[in-house]
Structure 1
Amino acid sequence: MAIIQRIEYKIEHKYFAGFLQQAIDESGVKGSVEQENGVIRLTLDESDPKALERFSAYTQKYLPHSIFLGEITTERAEAEAAQSPFRSPAYPIAPCPLCLEEITDPASERYLDDTVCCTHYANEECYEDQDATCFSPHYNGNDTVLLCDAKKVRELFLVTDEEIKALFSIEKPTLKVTINDPELREITGKKFVRLKAPYNVKSVLAALNAKESGINTLFFNERPNEPFVVLVQEHLHMVRDNRISAPLKSLHPDPALNRFLNVAEEAEASQAIGAYLSRSRGISFPVLTDQGAKKVIDFPAFDLREVIDTMMNDDTRRRLLENFTKTFPHEAHALSEAMEGDLFDAICVVMGLEERSFEALSDLSLEFHGNGGLKIDMNFEEEGFDYAAMLGSIMSFRIAGVEPHYLAYSIFEAFGDMTVSVLGQLKREFKIDTFLLMGDLFENSVLFSRILSKFQISKPYFSSRIALDG
């Protein structure tokens, strides 16, 4: 008899199955690992109970968590192990628990060895990480915090169990978290930061040195190819393409439609409606039918000059703009000098924020903890989306004295409501009920949560292996 485990694994990467093969080799149990079609099959012969105990002890100590793990089912059946051992190519993953033990244990021959390269996932070659990152105990506007002492994570930050599992997974993604430590809040001047656990040998050694000096966190500017994930209601998704996300096939020359078609293929959808909410590629709603894929709604590029001209050519909107200028002359002047910015830059100016960026507005929205936002105008006209109506409604609420964090929350909630409304209309028009959602605006958890809570027409599909955006 054999124990057979079927492990759902949401990406083609073979390193997790490789760690299982390593456990088989080290424990001496008769077993095998196979991976195919999103499932890892682990077969363990029951004839040697002591070997099974060694396998169990080894995996409990050294098998890392992976953000791509899904459901695991176990059964006992007559089965034989595969003849050939599993092999994995090298991957840009973090040092495994066994590597960390070797590096951090003073009794180890490889203590503080900066040449350690993980070969514990049935890989014949190892990935050499060339990292020029500088870590500092001093905050200089750096975008990411390195956690030096894992035991202090809950003391320093407000994090859930799922966030901790992701943070310390073998992929070591970056997460946006709430700062709990008053001193760290004062140092950074922020309530939310991007947090990362040591992700390669260099960062492990930097964190170890800092920890021994009584320093809990280091600051650094993150490399562009690092995975950044959003985790909402146990839904974990990578925001942008990175070192571990699935590469896109070339299915369409348009980048937005290409990502849409890749996600549709993953979802095994021959027909689908999509929502692509992206800072860099704009907002569009593509549809896949038997005739192919096309954008049926494509928001025009935001142009602040055109928005101001539209407001000036309408009596009601002109009076609103004049009233806003009288009430907030500083913001009005800043708006006149921000003509080259994007939509979120303009919104930040109207709201009087010092930092003008999507991230600044997104962080502000997270400060509101109530239920239900204000109604921000998200109207469509013949020419497309009415940016003037949206910006005008934000000006109106600002004049009315609405708290900035409540207004920011309402803006992202409105994006969610607009998305659900448009998808509902497209469902009725095309008679399609498969919905694929993409784009880095979903980095904002208010928007993400709104979609999940209001999406009554069908369960929305977010890819776990393909990043939300490029």
Structure 2
Amino acid sequence: MYFVFELDFNSSKTYVADLMKAHAKRIGIDADVIQDGQKIILAIDRDEKDLESFLLGLEEVLPASLFLGKSKHYFSEEKPQQSHYADENLPLNIAPCPTCQKEMFDVSSRRYYYPFTSCNACGSQHPFVTHYPYKRENSLMKFFAPCEACLNEVKENAFRLDYPLISCIDCGVPLRMMDKESEHTANDKGTYRQLFEVSARAVAAGETVLMKTAHGFRKLFKPQEGKIPPNSILLMADANTLNNHLMMVQQEFNALLSIERPLLRVATKSEELKALYGSSVLVKYPDDGMSMLFAKELLACGLDYAAYIECDAKEEADFLVDFDLPVGAQKDTKLFINQDTKLFVSGERIVYPVTVPNPKRVLGIAYGLAAAKAGDVTIIDNFDHFESVETAEIRILEGEVFESGHSNEVRFPQWKASMLSVLAEHGKLGEKAVGAHFDGQLYFLYYNGKEVINAVPPIPFESDNLWEKIGTLREGSDRLVVNYKKRFPETWERLNNLEGDIDIFKVTAITLGLKDESLEGISAEALSFLGKGGLQIDTRVKDNRFDNYAFLTSIMSYQLGDVENNFMCYSIYESFGDYIGEIIPQLIEKVDTRTVVLSGETFANQSLYGRIQRTLGQYKPLMNQKFPIGKENAVHGALYL
């Protein structure tokens, strides 16, 4: 008779299963851990004498995870059999696991305040890997010889058996801190801790610290009203005060503290954060050893949070914390949550690297990512992680700066690859489907089972001579231009002098006077509207195509009527939801399918997503679950063109 414990785990990543295996090995218990499909299954002989201590210890070993779902346990006469297990052996880029965190804060440990603490199943491994296959000689750690204690660990420590990146204070990466007058090196327990103490005190005192982390350079500072860059991220230091400052549902709280540590936009709650950031803010919980140790000392200074911007080494600051390794930082991953739905919006961390099928054995390139053969598998990762790749065909995203010199090079558009990525993930290739791709521009698409067709292309938006285009739109539009110039002369002048390729959402944000002049700024403003039901923004659909200028004219008319910005931004997304909800059923009727695909970052908005669920919910639209819904899914979709 076997005790069986099942966990829903919607990912091919194996770090949770690996932690369970390591814990069983450390306890000395005979346990089978199976990861199959979307489940992790643990099976142990019910007569195992250490079963109770194993289960109690498991609570301390396992982290919270975005991918974990419901669990159940039962007894079975037969041991569960594993049909498939993909041991990917890919470098991770997640937070330290609970066991490694304990080491960092245990003064008796060789890793006390050592920010590069990690094990086989956690930590910032990816930034230190130079190329595949993943082993120490192909990483930056090849420059550091493991000490005797670490050499023993790779043989005896269940969590670090044969771990390629093993290190500690005695044999690992030293830190240094510099200001304009002096430089200090951290190379033992006392100096490591002192470095983070000084960093936190400097930020608490209003100074800035440029800190190199596994995720690149971050300029840390204490946020002050009126002095916060629009691209800054709030770094929360204390889990116990999250609900004091932020208005979050339980799913957002759990996601923020998960071992994957995604980036979330959430509503502000405390008056101090509202004064600093307005109605919403991009939030991060400490996601690597550097930020965790800094946050610990920040709390000692009496601060619940700091802020940072992602930058390069040339950014000016009062202090610099650095180390002599050129880490390869991944783009942070934004997460969107709507009730039980979690969608990766954009980014690389958490999602990549990953192994994928490659039926046609081609090479895909998009946004610096490559879907390339590495040995017997195809891996999606940063292109520079592949030393050489042999392929019969290269598929490159339109606009990507990449000169292959290959005789068989094909360029592809984003919308086509995005739709194919969703279809491939859900096993719908070869079946007819319709869809919408919305990422700055809105495309309506048809997949005939072989290729993706741009069924309703967007009307190109040109921001030059904007007032002339608005003034001649329809009868009476010229009066709108005159009235708008009188009421909003500064905005009128700004829009009159637009140059270059500027998208409709940036122009909309400028029109509304938002600080963040982007789609992100409009989305953030929409989040602050707490009412129900929006205005109808004019889309003036002609031949099923969205009219950018009618859209702007409608917004300007509402502005002249003193409509609040947050209500307007909310209404923008609701109106798009109605428009999409009108066109998609028309396409469905024409091509006889009920498969609907949605892709593009713009769908990661509460009001738009909610409206889509109401207008198209009966079709159960498909979206990427394991890949970003935005740009970074293109490299995956390229394999199926």
Answer yes or no: same fold by TM over 0.5: yes
Tell me the equivalent position of 1:387: 548
What is the identity, as a one-letter code, of the residue corresponding to 1:443?
Answer: A
Residues 1:262 and 2:421 aligned together: yes
Q: CA deviation at 1:193?
A: 1.2
Q: Secondary structure at the match of 2:419?
A: helix
Tell me the equivalent position of 2:484: 324
Change (3 A) 1:317 1:65: same
Tell me the equivalent position of 1:205: 293
Q: CA deviation at 1:336?
A: 0.7
Q: CA deviation at 1:170?
A: 1.2
Q: CA deviation at 1:69?
A: 2.3
Q: Secondary structure at the match of 1:276?
A: strand
Tell me the equivalent position of 1:181: 270
What TM-score does the superposition give when structure 2 sets the normalisation length? Answer: 0.68
What is the identity, as a one-letter code, of the residue corresponding to 1:125?
Answer: Y
Residues 1:225 and 2:349 aligned together: no
- The 5-angstrom pairing of residues 252-291 of structure 1 reads 253-269=412-428, 270-279=431-440, 282-291=441-450
Which of the residues 136, 156, 160 maps onto 2:220?
136
Moved more, 247-256 or 353-362: 247-256
Q: CA deviation at 1:217?
A: 0.9
Moved more, 251-260 or 333-342: 251-260
- The 5-angstrom pairing of residues 8-407 of structure 1 reads 8-48=8-48, 50-80=49-79, 89=89, 90-120=91-121, 124-125=162-163, 130-139=214-223, 140-141=228-229, 143-186=232-275, 188-222=276-310, 225-245=331-351, 250=364, 253-269=412-428, 270-279=431-440, 282-305=441-464, 308-313=467-472, 314-340=474-500, 341-382=502-543, 384-407=545-568
Q: CA deviation at 1:151?
A: 1.2
Superimposed CA distance per residue, residues 341-377 of structure 1 (whole angstroms, 9 cap, x where no aligned partner): 2211211222233442222222211121111000111
What TM-score does the superposition give when structure 1 sets the normalisation length? Answer: 0.91
In structure 1, C-alpha distance between the alignment counterparts of 2:452 and 2:4, rounded to whole Å: 41
| 8 A contact 2:466–2:496 mirrored in 1 | no
| 8 A contact 2:234–2:284 mirrored in 1 | yes
In structure 1, C-alpha distance between the alignment counterparts of 2:164 and 2:57, rounded to whole Å: 21
Q: Secondary structure at the match of 1:119?
A: coil
Q: CA deviation at 1:85?
A: 11
Moved more, 171-180 or 309-318: 309-318
What is the identity, as a one-letter code, of the residue corresponding to 1:347?
Answer: T
| 8 A contact 1:433–1:457 mirrored in 2 | no
Residues 1:457 and 2:457 aligned together: no
Q: CA deviation at 1:224?
A: 5.9
In structure 2, C-alpha distance between the alignment counterparts of 1:77 and 1:285, rounded to whole Å: 50
| 8 A contact 1:148–1:207 mirrored in 2 | yes
* CA-atom RMSD in angstroms: 2.7
In structure 2, C-alpha distance between the alignment counterparts of 1:85 and 1:308, rounded to whole Å: 60
Q: Secondary structure at the match of 2:532?
A: coil
| 8 A contact 1:228–1:238 mirrored in 2 | yes
In structure 1, C-alpha distance between the alignment counterparts of 2:93 and 2:577, rounded to whole Å: 35
Moved more, 62-71 or 349-358: 349-358
Change (3 A) 1:85 1:436: closer
Q: CA deviation at 1:414?
A: 0.9
| 8 A contact 2:264–2:284 mirrored in 1 | yes
In structure 2, C-alpha distance between the alignment counterparts of 1:295 and 1:127, rounded to whole Å: 47
Q: Secondary structure at the match of 2:347?
A: coil
In structure 2, C-alpha distance between the alignment counterparts of 1:224 and 1:411, rounded to whole Å: 32
In structure 1, C-alpha distance between the alignment counterparts of 2:442 and 2:86, rounded to whole Å: 43
| 8 A contact 2:537–2:551 mirrored in 1 | yes
What is the identity, as a one-letter code, of the residue corresponding to 1:206?
Answer: F
Q: CA deviation at 1:213?
A: 1.6
| 8 A contact 1:308–1:388 mirrored in 2 | no
What percentage of aligned pairs have identical amino acids?
Answer: 26
Moved more, 353-362 or 248-257: 248-257
What is the identity, as a one-letter code, of the residue corresponding to 1:429?
Answer: K
Moved more, 245-254 or 34-43: 245-254
Q: Secondary structure at the match of 1:65?
A: coil
Q: CA deviation at 1:107?
A: 4.5
What is the identity, as a one-letter code, of the residue corresponding to 1:374?
Answer: L
What is the identity, as a one-letter code, of the residue corresponding to 2:64?
Answer: H
Q: CA deviation at 1:66?
A: 1.5
Tell me the equivalent position of 2:572: 411
Q: Secondary structure at the match of 1:219?
A: strand
Q: Secondary structure at the match of 1:393?
A: helix
**RCO higher in 1 or 2 (8 Å CA, sep ≥ 6)?**
1
Residues 1:2 and 2:2 aligned together: yes
Runs of 5+ in structure 2 lacking a partner?
A: 123-158, 167-212, 311-328, 359-363, 365-394, 396-410, 632-641
In structure 2, C-alpha distance between the alignment counterparts of 1:86 and 1:264, rounded to whole Å: 22
Moved more, 256-265 or 120-129: 120-129
Q: CA deviation at 1:86?
A: 9.3
Q: CA deviation at 1:189?
A: 4.1
| 8 A contact 2:64–2:259 mirrored in 1 | yes
In structure 1, C-alpha distance between the alignment counterparts of 2:85 and 2:617, rounded to whole Å: 47
Superimposed CA distance per residue, residues 409-445 of structure 1 (whole angstroms, 9 cap, x where no aligned partner): 1011111111222211111111211222111112322
What is the identity, as a one-letter code, of the residue corresponding to 2:264?
Answer: L
What is the identity, as a one-letter code, of the residue corresponding to 1:41?
Answer: I
In structure 1, C-alpha distance between the alignment counterparts of 2:85 and 2:444, rounded to whole Å: 46
Moved more, 352-361 or 156-165: 352-361
Q: Secondary structure at the match of 1:134?
A: strand
In structure 1, C-alpha distance between the alignment counterparts of 2:13 and 2:486, rounded to whole Å: 58
Moved more, 260-269 or 243-252: 243-252
In structure 2, C-alpha distance between the alignment counterparts of 1:86 and 1:422, rounded to whole Å: 41
In structure 1, C-alpha distance between the alignment counterparts of 2:350 and 2:542, rounded to whole Å: 41
